[in-house]
């Protein structure tokens, strides 16, 4: 079992076979490590790639972030932050795969991003855009498992259905790892900042997060809310248990939850609209 | 009252809330509550970038769209694995109240 897990890890960490855009990303990485480089400089590099720019702008204008009419990459960098734009650039190929092959998971991700943003704003947390992005990315591990373990997918799916398992339990039974761990490996190999990689890796186990428990709790709760709402399709249809640690850290109570749910359900209509528009644009 | 994306709006539906410019309550009102929609009005709204609107009743039944009784049954099924978690039962109650209120007074599917 252990061998299979480390094999899988090796395959996943092999960035050459991952669907990314290395050229632009390497340039961005080297620039963002250099304090002297300006937002404008970075924006110019991203803007040079038209497809990439279009994808980033489309996401920046999605209801999940709540900004409308972000029309240039440098605006997006100022509004969303360099980290977020870089993460969106890195994962835009993953999003493309989701949009094409698993609309349900894409909707689940957009929904979770929206929920995470609403929770973060309601609690007046800093770095709302980062938290939203962590919500958007929290299930990237599922896409990677779908790509790299296509042979085992039917078994995972049938276990979920026949044994009424959560997808994580089915993944662990078949692969000896799960999408959260795989997402964590991937975000490490992409050098995503900890404030994004911890919520991705520990959205089912908040205690595992060392430095970003609040952000991880928000993404954990956002995932739970979207599954409770029945929005999108994350692989199984069971609401995960809300962890006590997350509940305590976010100081939740029934009336706060109520406010969040009302706002979220209202916003989800727009998210659905956004995803329908994307789908019809893909057909056209 | 139902909130629908603009691309599902149709003539003869009646607005249940005002529509504001840029979907912002501080924006300029474009169209008042009680207005009956027409095809030309809908295309005007499209041009103005309106994303969604509230209409009276529950006029849009999409595939997979379910009446209140079915919605509540689905909701309970989704929570079936976590009924022993008190935070989850609190959340279930919040959602149950929300769905019931959102479907309006007719309490579910009245027409197909």
Domain boundary assignment for chain A: 2-19+102-275
Interface check for B22 against chain A (CB to CB < 8 A): the answer is: yes
**How many whole angstroms separate alpha carbon A196 and alpha carbon A192?**
6
Of residues A270 and A127, the one with the higher pLDDT is: A127
Which DSSP letter does residue B3 get? E
Task: Give the minimum alpha-carbon distance from B90 to chain A in angstroms, rounded to a whole number.
Answer: 7
**How many whole angstroms separate alpha carbon B52 and alpha carbon A191?**
38
Lowest mean pLDDT among A22-36, A71-85, B70-84: A22-36
CATH 3.90.105.10 for domain B2-55 = yes
User: Which of A225, A239, A269 has its CB closest to that of B5?
Assistant: A269
| Banded pLDDT at A37 (limits 50, 70, 90) | low
ipTM of the shown complex: 0.87
Of residues B45 and B65, the one with the higher pLDDT is: B45
| Banded pLDDT at A236 (limits 50, 70, 90) | very high
| Banded pLDDT at A51 (limits 50, 70, 90) | confident
Interface check for A33 against chain B (CB to CB < 8 A): the answer is: no
The verdict on a CB contact (< 8 Å) between A242 and B85 is: yes
pLDDT at A259: 96
The verdict on a CB contact (< 8 Å) between A273 and B91 is: no
Q: Do A275 and A110 touch, CB atoms closer than 8 A?
A: yes
Four-CA torsion A106, A111, A117, A121, nearest 10 degrees: 180
Nearest to A222 by CA among A261, A175, A274, A259: A261
Pick from A66, A114, A226, A230 the residue to mutate for testing the B interface (most B CBs within 10 Å).
A230
Interface check for B94 against chain A (CB to CB < 8 A): the answer is: yes
pLDDT at B105: 47
Pick from B22, B78, B100 the residue to mutate for testing the A interface (most A CBs within 10 Å).
B78
Interface check for B1 against chain A (CB to CB < 8 A): the answer is: no
Q: Which residues in B lie closer than 8 A to residue A247 (C-beta atoms)?
A: 87
Cross-strand pairs, B36: B14
CATH hierarchy code of domain A2-19+102-275? 1.10.3210.10
């Amino acid at each position: 079992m252990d061998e299979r897990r480390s094999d899988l890890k090796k395959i996943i960490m092999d960035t050459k076979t991952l669907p990314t855009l290395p050229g632009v990303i390497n340039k961005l990485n080297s620039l963002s490590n250099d304090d002297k480089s300006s937002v404008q400089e970075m924006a110019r590099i991203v803007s040079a790639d038209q497809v990439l720019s279009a994808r980033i702008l489309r996401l920046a204008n999605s209801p999940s972030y709540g900004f409308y009419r972000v029309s240039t990459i440098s605006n997006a960098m100022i509004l969303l932050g360099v980290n977020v734009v870089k993460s969106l650039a890195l994962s835009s190929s993953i999003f493309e795969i989701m949009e094409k092959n698993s609309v349900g998971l894409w909707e689940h991700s957009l929904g979770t991003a929206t929920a995470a943003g609403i929770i973060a704003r309601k609690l007046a947390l800093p770095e709302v855009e980062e938290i939203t992005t962590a919500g958007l990315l929290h299930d990237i591990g599922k896409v990677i498992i779908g790509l790299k373990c296509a042979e085992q997918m039917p078994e995972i799916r049938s276990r979920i259905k026949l044994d009424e398992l959560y997808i994580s339990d089915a993944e662990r039974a078949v692969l000896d790892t799960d999408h959260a761990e795989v997402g964590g490996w991937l975000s490490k190999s992409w050098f995503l900042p900890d404030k994004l990689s911890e919520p991705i890796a520990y959205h089912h186990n908040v205690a595992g997060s060392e430095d970003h428990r609040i952000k991880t709790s928000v993404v954990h709760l956002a995932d739970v809310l979207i599954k409770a709402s029945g929005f999108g399709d994350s692989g199984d249809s069971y609401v995960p248990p809300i962890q006590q640690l997350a509940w305590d850290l976010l100081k939740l109570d029934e009336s706060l939850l109520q406010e969040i749910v009302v706002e979220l359900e209202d916003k989800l209509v727009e998210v659905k609209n956004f995803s329908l528009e994307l789908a019809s644009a893909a057909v056209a | 009252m139902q909130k629908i994306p603009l691309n599902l709006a149709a003539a003869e539906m009646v607005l249940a809330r005002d529509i504001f410019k840029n979907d912002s309550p501080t924006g300029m009102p474009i169209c008042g509550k009680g207005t009956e929609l027409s095809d030309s009005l809908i295309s005007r709204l499209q041009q103005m970038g309106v994303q969604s609107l509230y209409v009276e009743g529950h006029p849009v039944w999409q595939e997979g769209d379910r009446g209140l009784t079915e919605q509540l049954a689905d909701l309970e099924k989704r929570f079936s694995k976590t009924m022993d978690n008190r935070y989850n039962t609190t959340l279930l109650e919040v959602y149950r109240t929300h769905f019931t209120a959102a479907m309006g007074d007719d309490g579910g599917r009245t027409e197909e």
